[in-house]
Structure 1
Amino acid sequence: MGYAFVAMFKIHIVNWSNRKAYEEPLERHFRLRHQIYVGERNWRQVERPIPLEIDAFDNEDAIYLLGIDDKGDVCGGSRLVPTLKPHLLSDVFPMLAAGDVPRGPNIFEWTRIFIAPSLRKPGQPSLAGGIVLCGLLEASLVLGINQISVVCETFWPARLERLGWPVTRLGPIVDHPDGAILALSIHVSEAALASSRAVYGLDDASVLAASQLKDSLEPEVSQPPTAAVPA
């Protein structure tokens, strides 16, 4: 019999309506993104003079899914951007979609997933990664998002399909200075969430920080834990 693990941190939904309460965690999240995407993965296209990885889509429309533990440390996270507004697939990589770029009020683009280096397990799935991925699906269901588009590296389709996510490839693989990429469309479902929980051994408890109202893009989100600002 397998063991069910309890989430080591909770996913906080941060949008324009509540982001002032999350100023410190958001800055730590941008620093972690720089450490991972620029420092570790050598993405020269997003390099900036300051150690914060921020792009044109980190704006008032962005929704951040921040994994924050009870000490206030940022453990992982991701970002959602509404497809009715400018986003990566529509404005930077439209060539990755063989047909029309998916757009709609309930379709959001998923970008910038990361896990704090200390929580990774090289060569094997990490519980932290499972929490972030389950948090993405659970938050999407709470927010009324039924489809996600993503521009990603070529290893992602097989990885997501192993989790039970319904994945559709939108077009060709394209060479990019930071590696070969393609675009996917993902159907958000309770079944995909349940399958992902099972793969990572997570119990059925919510990984979100607080109960949320469905079909709302301005959820009442719990306040972040207080933590000292890192040096």
Structure 2
Amino acid sequence: MIRLHVVDRASRGAYADALAQQHALRRAAAEEGGCRALRAIDAAGRDRFDTETTRYLLAIDGDGQVAGGTRLLPAEGPTLLSEVFPHLADIRRFARGPGIWECTRFFASSRFRENRPLSRVAGIVAAGLIEHCLEQDIPHVNLVVETYWIPQMAEIGWRSRPLGLPVAEAGGSLCAVSIAMTEEALEATRAAYGLAVSVLARPRPPTLPDWARPGRGLTA
């Protein structure tokens, strides 16, 4: 079963292979994309926002294959919106600081795409993103997206708050939005993709030896 794994600075070593897969898949997704302004990555599939503070959300199957994912950038540091596209938020602006995140590089591997309007892998990434934000008390995330994604996000129950007017960029039209991370959005996303339960992978607790388990201590 495909689960969404949260990879941060502390767990990065355990996910080295998955991260390498992710960067290669992101490069392939960028080459397929329409807007050249969002395709600026290096030969390994990285850009300047892949840093030590970046948090990756990776959909991984039972064989360790990455099926899709996205990443979260802390808005207290450099982000795509603050460094490249600040003009997209010329009406409402955007908040910066601890607890505020920007979501970028949403992708699904072509190997796992299905011949239907809503890809299950995309649903796992979308639902898992909201689950993670709810658990971490992240009230909303900012996104820079191609404008045609706005009605598609509305279709799965995401309430987008425009931060400015759409702007024509090289090869496409972009806009900046804020998406509320709510229980209602999670329920709507699960319903749209046919997901009944949590998609987040839970870390396994360490296995204790018999003598260390509750009720199994040494006796005199």
Question: TM-score normalised to the size of structure 1?
Answer: 0.82
Q: Which amino acid is 2:130 matched to?
A: L
Aligned-pair distance for 1:41? 2.2
For 2:211, the equivalent position in structure 1 comes to none
For 1:90, the equivalent position in structure 2 comes to 82
Distance 1:82 1:18, change over 3 A: same
For 2:27, the equivalent position in structure 1 comes to 34
Equivalent pairs: percent with the same residue?
39
Contact 1:78/1:132 (<8 A) preserved: yes
Aligned-pair distance for 1:159? 1.2
2:185 to 187, 192, 198: 192
Describe the superposition over 1:172-209 as per-residue Cα deviations: whole angstroms up to 9, x where unpaired.
11111141100000111011001110111111x21011
SS at structure 1 position matched to 2:172: coil
For 1:67, the equivalent position in structure 2 comes to 59
Q: Which amino acid is 2:20 matched to?
A: E
Q: Which amino acid is 1:89 matched to?
A: L
Q: How does 1:39-188 map to 2 (within 5 A)?
A: 40-41=32-33, 44-45=36-37, 46=39, 50=43, 52-97=44-89, 98-122=91-115, 124-188=117-181
SS at structure 2 position matched to 1:194: helix
Cα distance between partner residues in 1 of 2:137 and 2:45: 28
- Runs of 4+ in structure 1 displaced over 6 angstroms? none
Q: Which amino acid is 2:2 matched to?
A: F
Q: Which amino acid is 2:86 matched to?
A: P
Unaligned runs of 5+ in 1: 1-7, 211-220, 224-231
For 2:215, the equivalent position in structure 1 comes to none
Q: Which amino acid is 1:208 matched to?
A: L
Aligned-pair distance for 1:122? 4.8
Describe the superposition over 1:95-148 as per-residue Cα deviations: whole angstroms up to 9, x where unpaired.
001232222322210000111102223561111111111011111112221110
Q: Which amino acid is 1:114 matched to?
A: F
My pick for the range that moved more, 157-166 or 190-199, is 157-166
SS at structure 2 position matched to 1:165: coil
Q: Which amino acid is 2:157 matched to?
A: G
SS at structure 1 position matched to 2:117: coil
Cα distance between partner residues in 2 of 1:123 and 1:73: 21
Contact 2:35/2:169 (<8 A) preserved: no
Bigger relative CO (Cα 8 Å, ≥ 6 apart): 1
Contact 1:106/1:147 (<8 A) preserved: no
Unaligned runs of 5+ in 2: 206-220
Aligned residues: 203
Contact 2:131/2:200 (<8 A) preserved: yes
Give the superposed CA RMSD: 1.8
Compare CA radii of gyration and give the structure with the larger one.
2
